[in-house]
């Protein structure tokens, strides 16, 4: 119901464009540094951990394929979503929860402002738009991290690594790599907003709701990741 009311707010005036852009800045730009840092080291660790195994089979030339496939299909979307849940989802819950216990949301209703359209819709749209963008940046930096390890420790030529990355990815991988973070972003937004709007019990309740929001978001991300993977596999196998 919260999702339906939020989307219905897009077709009604006023449309809170400025609030949406502000949330995109807070969520996207604010989460970008930690996403890039985490993506770089995830790509580096992937290349580092699999180096000996690939070399034992004489398959070190496939390092780029392994790094790119792992990041785009699975690790990139899930890692970015978990970072968003921990940073942005908890922040949304704490902000809305503080407004709820201080009766600011009730005051908005008394003044004729719909809090769903004013507070939930901008945050939901910001996460829907920024989660795929952050995932793409994280994937690119992760591939770069794998390249650093491949060229310095494995002594793999750059051309071999890049060609392996190019051969590994197809349209189904890119589709799945963008579909997952979009769904994950929606999950983080809705869980965060719902937990914030249902907060009771003063400041103690704000902390409780924030913890609940992060835990529930991560669990739903991991569960939905399984079903989204099944969906992408089924679509890729369809002639």
The pLDDT value given to residue 14? 72
Q: Tell the burial category of 152 from Cβ atoms under 10 Å away from its Cβ (0-12, 13-18, 19+).
A: exposed
What per-residue confidence (pLDDT) applies to 50? Answer: 81
| 27, 47, 239 from 218: Cα distances, Å | 17, 26, 34
The whole-angstrom separation of Cα 157 and Cα 63 is 11
Residue ranges of domains in the chain: 18-233
CA distances to 6, 83, 123 from 184, rounded to whole Å, are: 17, 11, 14
Alpha carbon 50 to its chain's center:
25
Tell me the C-alpha distance between 106 and 158, whole Å.
59
Is residue 239 predicted with pLDDT exceeding 60? no
Q: What is the pTM (predicted TM-score) of this model?
A: 0.88
Cα 159 versus chain centre, distance: 30
**DSSP notation for the chain:** -HHHHHHHGGGSSSP-HHHHHHHHIIIIIHHHHHHHHHHHHHHHHHHHHHHHHHHHTT-GGGHHHHHHHHIIIIIHHHHHHHHHIIIIIHHHHHHHHHHHHTTHHHHHHHTT--HIIIIIHHHHHHHHHHHHHHHHHHHHHHHHHHHHHHHHTS---HHHHHHHHHHH--HHHHHHHHHHHHHHHHHHHHHHHHHHHT--SHHHHHHHHHHHHHHHHHHHHHHHHHHHHHHHHHHHH--
- pLDDT (tens digit per residue) in 19-76: 888 888 988 888 899 999 999 999 999 888 887 777 777 777 778 888 888 888 888 9
Angle at 26 between CA 20 and CA 28, to 5 degrees: 90
pLDDT tens digits for range 186-232: 999 999 998 888 888 877 888 888 999 999 999 999 999 999 999 98
């Amino acid at each position: 119901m919260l999702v339906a009311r939020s989307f219905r707010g897009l077709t009604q005036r006023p449309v809170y464009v400025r609030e949406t852009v502000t949330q995109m800045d807070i969520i996207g730009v604010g989460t970008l540094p930690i996403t890039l840092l985490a993506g770089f080291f995830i790509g580096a660790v992937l290349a580092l951990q699999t180096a000996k195994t690939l070399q034992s089979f004489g398959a070190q030339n496939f390092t780029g394929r392994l790094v790119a496939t792992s990041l785009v299909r699975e690790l990139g979307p899930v890692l970015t979503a978990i970072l968003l849940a921990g940073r942005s989802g908890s922040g949304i819950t704490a902000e809305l929860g503080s407004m709820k216990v201080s009766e600011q949301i009730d005051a908005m209703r008394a003044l004729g402002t719909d809090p769903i359209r004013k507070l939930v819709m901008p945050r939901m749209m910001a996460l829907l738009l920024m989660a795929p963008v952050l995932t793409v940046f994280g994937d690119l930096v992760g591939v770069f991290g794998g390249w650093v390890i491949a060229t310095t420790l494995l002594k793999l030529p750059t051309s071999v690594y890049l060609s392996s990355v190019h051969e590994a990815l197809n349209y189904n991988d890119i589709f799945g790599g963008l579909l997952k973070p979009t769904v994950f972003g929606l999950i983080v937004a809705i869980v965060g907003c719902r937990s914030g709007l249902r907060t009771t019990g003063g400041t103690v309740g704000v902390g409780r709701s924030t913890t609940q929001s992060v835990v529930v978001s991560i669990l739903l991300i991991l569960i939905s990741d399984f079903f989204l993977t099944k969906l992408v596999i089924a679509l890729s196998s369809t002639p």
